[in-house]
Structure 1
Amino acid sequence: MKDLEILDINWNQIMYLSPNGMQHLEKSFAKNVSINMLNNPLHCSCDSVIFLQWIPKHKNHFKYFDNYTCSNKGSDFEISKTNLLLKKDCASYMEVIVLSVIFIIAFIAVVGTSMINRFRWKLRYWYYVMKGAYGYNRVETDDHYQFDAFVSYADRDQHFPKDEMVDYLEKQRVFRLCIHHRELIAGCGIAETITNAIHNSRKVVCVLSEDFLKSEWCMYEFNIALTESKVSRQGQNMIIMLRLGRMDMKNIPTEIMYILKEDTYIEYPENEDDRDIFWEDFAGSLNL
């Protein structure tokens, strides 16, 4: 409408104009178009604050601008005075929104972190088990497990499982042991392989020593075994604690101490004459 001079939109139900509407009207201002918006129920609110800031900038194009009013909570205000009122109200309103959003995000973060920390072992366990990349040859035991026992031990104690346990339990009694120096596959993630090996073992033997308690991987293996017993085996006693040498009881974590108090643990004898009986008892524990 190139010849448009006056846009008369008075006595309508216009509360405020959208940014798109304001942009279109600005294009007509170059042609000195006048607008009459008198007697519209203009609304004074934080939703309309952009519109109320826009009108005074172009008041020369609005007929009877000095008579324009907007309503807020049942009261009418002059447009020129409204911006000062809304500046304070909307600033407080925005502060409340920002603080509320920050609080909600912080609350979700704290709760989420707490839940992840509480169930971290279960989350790790299910993550690796569900991946299902076990990577072993499927030689199963009589009760459908791949190994009779997964052996958890510190590197400094590796002579015990690699020599004595293999000799007495595998060679003489045909147990199938999962010993990570021998069984774990190169190229696979260590945590994933350990988790799946424990999941596929009927028992887990923890060769308990001072070095065991200092090893992060040993504690990982113990916690995964504890999670396996609670989650997949309905509380079945599948962890055998084999105490190797003397230990300071103060250094033992609460979870391990609980098992030592609740269940009978096996202690490797220093006297060689007692070791035949030890291996008989140990083999019997694996068969339970």
Structure 2
Amino acid sequence: MQANLSALRYLKLAHNEIIVIDDVVFSSLPSLTFLDLSNNPFTCDCSNAGFIQWAKNNKQTQVVNTHQYVCSFPADKRGTLLLDFYIESCWDDVSFIFFISSTCLVLLTLLTCLVGHFKREHLVYTFQLFLAFLYDTRRRKKIDPHQFDAFVSYSTHDEEWIYKEMLPVLEGEQGWRLCLHHRDFQPGKPIIENITDAIYGSRKTICVISRHYLQSEWCSNEIQMASFRLFDEQKDVLILLFLEEIPPHHLSPYYRMRKLLKKRTYLSWPKAAQHPGVFWQNVQRALQTGDALIENTDLLPRPTVC
């Protein structure tokens, strides 16, 4: 290929020890019209498939006595004719592998897109459960005391109520240590880690639920993480506080919320409008509740009014 034999027309290589012929070499012999490769110990496998195809199909070069070339390798092909080797099997294997690979890749891409589109929340939730599991494992090894009495999970649209109603009573009058995301989250840390640290670094989680809360992706993440802690530890660690009346049919898209409400009593701010003092006393009772194991008991005694 490096000899610059562009004018070579006649080439005789009979009675040599040629086993494999690279068909690419013939591209460097554009004038070749006669080729003799008789009595060479050819191998009949896919390494010679290119030469066999070239010998059958090329119109310019006469390959002398090609039909008499005999295979010497491998042992099971010895004595058979070189041109009888089924070269299509070489292409079929490769093409089949490419077909299977490309098909699997396309199906995997489609499946990933479909799952990402329709099951995005489940994927996020699964990822959060995994993070919570890792966090809980590390926390149990360290056995650190809780930094806060409660982490308050709320929508930013309800921040005014948090400042005017909740903080003055729970922190000011009752003296609880509350964790608020706008105030106590560590700057620069990933939001999921901040949420996990806040939930597991507090004795309890207070979810201030409103329509804005249900529509918030981050609030959904927080209550899902808190639900996992409740399920994992089986302790009284979750307080549900409804900031506004929400009809049951509006909760139908929120499966996990409906599941929690079926098992746990919740606090209702609208129903406590005439007796806010009783409402905050019930919140205080909920925060004072210890970490005893829950055995199908409610957070607060029924009924669900305060």
CA separation of 1:36 and 1:163: change in aligned 2, threshold 3 A = same
Partner of 2:258: 257
For residues 109 and 145 of structure 1, the distance between their equivalents in structure 2, rounded to whole angstroms, comes to 44
Matched residue, 1:9: 16
User: Which residue of structure 2 aligns with residue 99 of structure 1?
Assistant: 99
Whole-angstrom CA distance in 2 between matches of 1:264 and 1:235: 16
Change (3 A) 1:36 1:150: same
Cα separation, 2, equivalents of 1:93 and 1:157: 64
Q: Aligned to 1:8, what secondary structure does the other structure show?
A: coil
Q: Which runs of 5+ in 1 are unaligned?
A: 132-142
Question: What is the number of equivalent residue pairs in this alignment?
Answer: 263
Q: Contact 1:8–1:37 at 8 Å: present in 2 too?
A: yes
TM-score normalized with structure 1 length:
0.69
Aligned-partner Cα distance in 2 for 1:156–1:66: 86
Question: How far apart are residue 262 of structure 1 and its match?
Answer: 0.7
* Aligned twin of 2:233: 234
1:19-39, CA deviations, whole angstroms, 9 ceiling, x for partnerless residues? 5xx678998999xx9864526
Q: Relative to structure 1, is the Cα distance of residues 61 and 95 closer, same or farther in structure 2, using a 3 angstrom cutoff? A: closer
**Aligned 8 A contact 2:68 2:81 in 1:** no
Aligned partners of 1:237, 1:35: CA distance in 2, in Å? 90
SS at match of 2:233: coil
Distance (whole Å) between structure 2 residues aligned to residue 272 and residue 34 of structure 1: 103
**Are the equivalent residues in 2 in contact too, given 1:150–1:198 (CA < 8 A)?**
yes
Query: Equivalent residue for 1:120?
Result: 124
In 2, the alpha carbon distance for the partners of 1:109 and 1:287 equals 51
Aligned partners of 2:221, 2:279: CA distance in 1, in Å? 27
One-letter amino acid of the counterpart of residue 248, structure 1: P
Classify 1:228/1:7 alpha carbon distance in 2 versus 1 (closer, same or farther; 3 Å): farther
Alignment deviations for residues 5-50 of structure 1 (CA, whole Å, 9 cap, x no partner): 856336x9x4x44x5xx678998999xx98645263531x545322
For residues 271 and 209 of structure 2, the distance between their equivalents in structure 1, rounded to whole angstroms, comes to 15
What does 1:1-288 align with in structure 2 at a 5 Å threshold?
8-9=15-16, 14=19, 16-17=20-21, 19=22, 36=37, 38=39, 40=41, 42-43=43-44, 45-54=45-54, 64-69=65-70, 76-77=80-81, 79=83, 86-87=87-88, 89-106=89-106, 118-124=122-128, 126=130, 144-230=145-231, 233-252=232-251, 253-288=254-289
Tell me the distance in 1 between the aligned counterparts of 2:42 and 2:193. Answer: 67
Contact kept? 1:195, 1:224, Cα under 8 Å: yes
- Tell me, which stretches of 5 or more residues in structure 2 are unaligned? 4-11, 136-143, 290-306
Q: For residue 224 of structure 2, what is the amino acid of its counterpart?
A: N
Q: Deviations over 1:201-240 (max 9, x none)?
A: 221111111121122221122222223444xx43434221
Deviation of 1:281 (Å): 1.5
SS state of the match for residue 284, structure 2?
helix
SS at match of 1:145: coil
Q: Conserved in 2, the CA contact under 8 Å of 1:7 and 1:34?
A: no
Deviations 1:171-198 (A, max 9, x none): 2222111122322344444343233222
Q: 1:110 to 1:196 in 2, by over 3 A?
A: farther
**SS where residue 208 of structure 2 aligns?**
strand
**Could you tell me which residue of structure 2 aligns to residue 134 of structure 1?**
none
Amino acid at match of 1:9: N
Q: Give, in whole Å, the separation in 2 of the partners of 1:285 and 1:106.
A: 53
* Equivalence for 1:136: none
The match for 1:138 is none
Alpha carbons 1:151, 1:207 under 8 Å: kept: yes
Question: Structure 2 length normalisation: TM-score?
Answer: 0.66
